[in-house]
Amino acid sequence: MKRSSLFLIATMALALIVSYREFSVSVTAQTRAGQGRQLRPGHQPDGTFVGADGTQYVSQQAFVESGLRCGTREDGAVERGANDGNANSRPGGGGGGTPPWPGTTQTINVYFHVITNSSGQGFASSSQMMDQINVLNAAFASSQFQFVLYSTDYTSNDSWYGVTPGSVAEAQMKSALRQGSADDLNIYSANIGQGLLGWATFPSSYSQSPSQDGVVILTSSLPGGDAAPYNLGDTATHEVGHWLGLYHTFQGGCSKQGDLVADAPDERSAAFGWPAGSDTCNGAGLDPITNFMDYTDDACMFQFSSNQSSAMHTQWMQYRSGK
What whole-number distance in Å separates Cα of residue 3 and Cα of residue 226?
52
Cα angle 152, 154, 155 (rounded to 5 degrees) comes to 140
Q: Is 79 a catalytic residue?
A: no
What whole-number distance in Å separates Cα of residue 192 and Cα of residue 281?
33
Handedness of CA 227, 233, 236, 238 (dihedral sign): negative
- Point out the catalytic residue in the list 65, 74, 170, 239: 239
**E strand map for 58-212:** 106-116, 145-156, 185-190, 198-200
Asked if 203 and 79 count as a contact pair (C-beta separation under 8 A), the reply is yes
Q: How many CA atoms lie within 13 Å of 220's alpha carbon, on the beta-carbon side?
A: 22
Nearest to 203 by CA among 85, 307, 315: 315
Asked if 121 and 191 count as a contact pair (C-beta separation under 8 A), the reply is yes
Helical (H) or strand (E) element with 216: strand 215-218
Alpha-carbon distances, residue 191 vs 45, 153, 196, 222 (angstroms): 25, 16, 9, 12
What whole-number distance in Å separates Cα of residue 166 and Cα of residue 151?
25
Q: How many CA atoms lie within 13 Å of 197's alpha carbon, on the beta-carbon side?
A: 34
Q: Is 212 strand, coil or helix?
A: helix
> 311 CB contacts (<8 Å, ≥6 apart)?
83, 86, 94, 95, 245, 246, 260, 261
Alpha helix stretches (DSSP H) within the chain = 3-26, 60-65, 77-85, 126-140, 158-161, 168-177, 234-243, 306-315
Report, as residue numbers or ranges, the catalytic residues.
239
